[in-house]
């Protein structure tokens, strides 16, 4: 940031996206911030748009500032703006400076390759996603003249998630027949309702190896996404090997399926380790996402500015 930007009064919009890892959007699909109005620039209405899995390149997160289509004011508005991801202490994590652009109603500008997904969600996760919250900041200046005062607007979008962890014990596993099917119901901890049913069966046999097959059936239509990690618990209580996958559900898709990492033969070869008492113990770790459950403008500050670090600190303390 230049010294000029530090001195100029501006409108700052800070958007927090909670449980960002569980965004449902595929490549080319976006998630929008709550709309905000900049009174000093013709009372124009704006919003931020993120493509969590990229607009065109799935290796990047895309980020844009857009002028609302039902916006008031001139047909074309020229402003100076700056977009950035910020850390928990208000540290700017992205290298982009401010730029000038002319926005038509419904038009937007930004970066199709704003930040690498691998950096945000894996390599630098603790920096970009403290408590799985992604924070985006947009600063807006008048192109000509100065703002009368500094204004800070804080918004929050929360993606609803429910996490479940449990052990499913399958007795007499060595005599389990291919035509047999076992079912486990995953219930919600919030309500006494079923989230999903899991059916286990053996497929293959005779001329090919018997594999353990799972079928996931959505019971709660609000569930849009499931992240799954599945492993065997050995005789020592250790988790051995794992399947890790993501599943999406929609109006046309209520069932997803997958094959387990271990075949029956692999488990039987080390029966004393994996099947004590002829019991197969499977450790399940599931996270269910129901999409956006709340979005709102939380606070607007005018005039004297409270440091962003203080806002972030207070927000974290409330959790």
What does residue 34 show for φ and ψ, rounded to 5 degrees?
A: -60, 145
The full set of domain ranges for the chain reads 11-149, 161-291
Q: Give the Cα separation of 228 and 43 in Å (integer).
A: 46
Pairing of strands 11-18, 151-170: parallel
Alpha helices in the chain (DSSP H): 3-7, 117-118, 125-128, 264-269, 271-274, 308-318
- 161-291 shares the fold of 11-149: yes
- Per-residue confidence band for 306, with pLDDT thresholds at 50, 70 and 90: low
3: confidence class by pLDDT, cuts 50, 70, 90 = very low
* Rounded distance between C-alpha atoms, residue 280 and residue 297, angstroms: 49
Task: Tokens for 143, please give them.
Answer: 């192109």
Which tens digits make up the pLDDT trace of 265-298?
999 999 999 999 999 999 999 999 989 999 999 9
Asked if pLDDT for residue 150 goes beyond 50, the answer is yes
pLDDT tier, 316 (very low <50, low <70, confident <90, very high otherwise): low
191-209 mean pLDDT: 83
Strands 31-32 and 44-51: antiparallel
Q: Mean pLDDT over residues 178-193, rounded?
A: 86
The per-residue pLDDT of the chain, averaged, comes to 89
pLDDT of residue 130: 95
More confident residue, 319 or 27: 27
CATH topology of domain 161-291: 2.60.210
Bridge partners (DSSP) of residue 61 are 115
Count of beta carbons in the 10 Å neighbourhood of residue 66? 21
Q: Which CATH number fits domain 11-149: 3.90.25.10, 3.10.20.30, 2.60.210.10, 3.30.420.40?
A: 2.60.210.10
Long-range contacts of residues 172-177, Cβ cutoff 8 Å, at least 24 apart: 172/278, 172/279, 173/264, 173/267, 173/275, 173/278, 173/279, 173/280, 174/268, 174/271, 174/275, 174/278, 175/278, 176/202, 176/264, 177/202
Residue 213 has pLDDT above 90, yes or no: yes
- Mean local confidence (pLDDT), 133-152: 93
Which tokens hold the place of 18? 């909670």
Answer whether residue 5 shows pLDDT above 50: no
């Amino acid at each position: 940031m230049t010294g000029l930007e530090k001195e100029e009064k501006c409108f700052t919009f800070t958007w927090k996206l909670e449980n960002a890892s569980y965004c449902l959007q595929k490549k080319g699909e976006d998630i929008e911030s709550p709309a905000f109005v900049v009174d000093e620039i013709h009372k124009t209405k704006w919003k931020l748009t993120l493509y969590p899995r990229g607009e065109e390149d799935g290796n990047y997160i895309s980020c844009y500032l857009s002028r609302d289509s039902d916006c008031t004011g001139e047909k074309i508005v020229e402003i100076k703006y700056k977009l950035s991801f910020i850390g928990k202490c208000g540290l700017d994590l992205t290298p982009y400076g401010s730029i000038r652009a002319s926005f038509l109603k419904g038009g937007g500008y930004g970066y199709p390759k704003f930040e690498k997904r691998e950096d945000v969600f894996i390599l630098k996760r603790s920096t970009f996603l403290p408590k799985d919250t992604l924070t985006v900041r947009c600063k807006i200046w008048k192109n000509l003249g100065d703002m009368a005062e500094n204004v800070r607007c804080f918004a929050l979008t929360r993606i609803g998630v429910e996490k479940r962890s449990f052990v499913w014990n399958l007795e007499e596993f060595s005599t389990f027949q291919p035509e047999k099917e076992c079912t486990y119901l995953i219930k919600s901890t919030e309500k006494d309702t079923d989230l999903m049913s899991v059916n286990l069966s053996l497929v293959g046999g005779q001329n090919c190896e018997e594999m353990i097959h799972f079928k996931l059936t959505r019971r709660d239509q609000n569930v849009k996404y499931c992240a799954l990690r599945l492993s065997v618990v050995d005789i020592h209580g250790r988790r051995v090997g794992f399947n890790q996958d993501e599943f999406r559900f929609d109006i046309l898709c209520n069932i997803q399926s997958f094959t387990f990492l271990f075949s029956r033969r692999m488990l039987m070869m080390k029966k004393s380790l994996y099947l004590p008492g002829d019991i197969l113990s499977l450790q399940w770790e599931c996270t269910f996402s129901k999409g956006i459950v709340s979005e709102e403008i939380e606070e607007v500050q005018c005039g004297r500015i409270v440091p962003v670090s203080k806002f972030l600190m207070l927000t974290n303390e409330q959790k």
